[in-house]
Amino acid sequence: MIHTGDDWVCETVAPAGTRYGFRAAGAPPFDASKLLVDPGATHLDRPFAYDPRLATFGCDTASLVPKAVVTPPLPPLARRAPVFRPGGLIYEVNVRGLTMLHPDIPAALRGTVAAIGHPVILEHLQRLGVDAVELMPIVAWIDERHLPSLGMHNAWGYNPVVPMALDPRLCPGGMAELRATVAALREVGIGTILDLVFNHTGESDLQGPTLSFRGLDDAVYARAPDGTLINDAGTGNTLDFGYAPVREMTLAALRHFVTQAGVDGFRFDLATVMARSPGFDRDAPIFAAIAADPVLADRIMIAEPWDIGPGGYQLGQFPANWLEWNDRFRDDVRCFWRGDGAAGALATRLSGSTDLFGGARTRSVNFVAAHDGFTLADTVAYAGRHNHANGEQNRDGHGDEVSWNAGEEGQGRAEDRRALLATLFAARGTIMLTAGDEFGRTQAGNNNAYAQDNATSWLDWAGRDRALEACVAGLAAWRRANRAIGDPGIRHDLIWLRLDGEPMTAEDWGAADGFAMMLPGGSGVRVDRRTRTAEILSPRQP
């Protein structure tokens, strides 16, 4: 290694298959006993596993840390436009949970990226009218340090170590496996979006493990003026996007997944962090860098537009060509059907949340349930969380979700599930459905199943609600046949009717229990919470 300016450069060319790691010596916090993973690694020889010695200064960790493997890149893919377009249906997928219990997937394939390309999964996605699958993190992660003592493991992957190395548990075939699955999805008209985490790393706070960045360049982590780590991600550490190497690392990772796998785009976890230095800046350098990059400029970018830091809620404040997760849609739709929400608020959400997104097109990603929080079925069956299995005395997870039951915990109404789904499929803009919600997946009231790598979070394909699944397939067919209803560009030509068919007036909105929202041609939706129904409407025949 030679030192050139701010960079260390290795001039030795290692043959393919070489396993390696780094050590960095110097005054603390450098610790030469720690084996460090190359931040640019694309392949690891095994998954990460937490061990207290990873955080013990002076303790050699060569036997504990995965080695990077020299892996030549695949031949570059031909440039192709994204399959997915705003206004379509995104299907959020926990890769492992999707197929671990699927009886028609070969046992050796279950829980992997390759399983998503299996014909039985492709057929299911097509039946639902899915336009893109959004894969929850598949980059190599490490368990949070409190989980091993509880006998649990991270089931979601939102604790990555380095940004480009695929986790061997989910993608044992490496980039070739991901590329093949993306191609199989594209062949049937479905795009692929990767959920990536650039707000923190699994090195956590000062008591966390030293695995890569901390031992090589601790400046990647944001610090307050007194030197303490900033914790805007709620994980003990936050990446500093005011530091140019962090932005360069992020861009390199995004380009890697586009050029090597052909993905359509990315969803960014706690994306507000990407625009902090330390405060949120709508004109943050990372946005301009992505927009100017010839590989990334046409990709789909989706922000989770909040973090837990000061001024962390930034819904509607991302660039004009980005989509944003809209939790206001989730909450206002749920409130309406629970009975304490206004019809006017629901109408605003259905029509694209014009109060939040300016410009000619809505950027809203509408959803009623996601991986984080109650499942759709649990939303209408539990009034409170039931997270005791997580080992945190039921104190973790959102304590005030908008949810309800039919008089007893665990008891829900089928009509409430159908009403939520029909409302979602009738919404203007992009919609998102989490895998399994189409057939009534339940986590028994656990609204924070991040550490339940078991039947709690694995989809029960054998026990699925076939009637609900058929209902969703019908909604999907209707939305495909009436593309205009979800068009992100429709703003002013919606027609609003009372439940008796007369035009809505300003006075009607205050006490309304429902309404019909229609396009001039007759497609739309009629919602009536008195009867717990949301009826989709097709164009009038001549």
Would you state the torsion angle of the CA atoms of residues 57, 60, 61, 67, taken in this order, to the nearest 10 degrees? 130
Active-site hit among 92, 131, 304, 465: 304
The pair of structure tokens assigned to 64 is 């504990």
Among 185, 194, 330, smallest CA distance to 257 is for 194
Residue 177 among the catalytic residues: no
Interatomic CA distance for residues 343 and 511, integer angstroms: 8
Are the CB atoms for 197 and 191 separated by under 8 Å? no
The pair of structure tokens assigned to 90 is 């995104």
Backbone angles phi, psi at 92, to 5 degrees: -80, 130
The pair of structure tokens assigned to 38 is 């190359």
Residue 493 among the catalytic residues: no
Concatenated DSSP letters of 111-149: TSHHHHTSHHHHHHHHHTT-SEEEEPP-B-B---TTSGG
What does the chain come to in residues? 542
Interatomic CA distance for residues 239 and 247, integer angstroms: 10
The pair of structure tokens assigned to 36 is 């460090």
Interatomic CA distance for residues 37 and 163, integer angstroms: 11
Among 95, 101, 154, 90, smallest CA distance to 128 is for 90
The DSSP element (H or E) to which 526 belongs, if any, is strand 524-528
Interatomic CA distance for residues 280 and 274, integer angstroms: 8
Interatomic CA distance for residues 399 and 386, integer angstroms: 10
Interatomic CA distance for residues 255 and 263, integer angstroms: 10
The pairing of beta strand 323-326 with beta strand 68-69: unpaired
Interatomic CA distance for residues 485 and 479, integer angstroms: 7
Interatomic CA distance for residues 350 and 524, integer angstroms: 10
Helix (H, G, I), strand (E, B) or coil at 287: helix
The pair of structure tokens assigned to 413 is 């109404």
Active-site hit among 269, 401, 437, 465: 269
Judging by beta carbons within 10 Å of its beta carbon (0-12, 13-18, 19+), is residue 335 exposed, middle or buried? middle
Mind telling me the catalytic residues? 269, 304
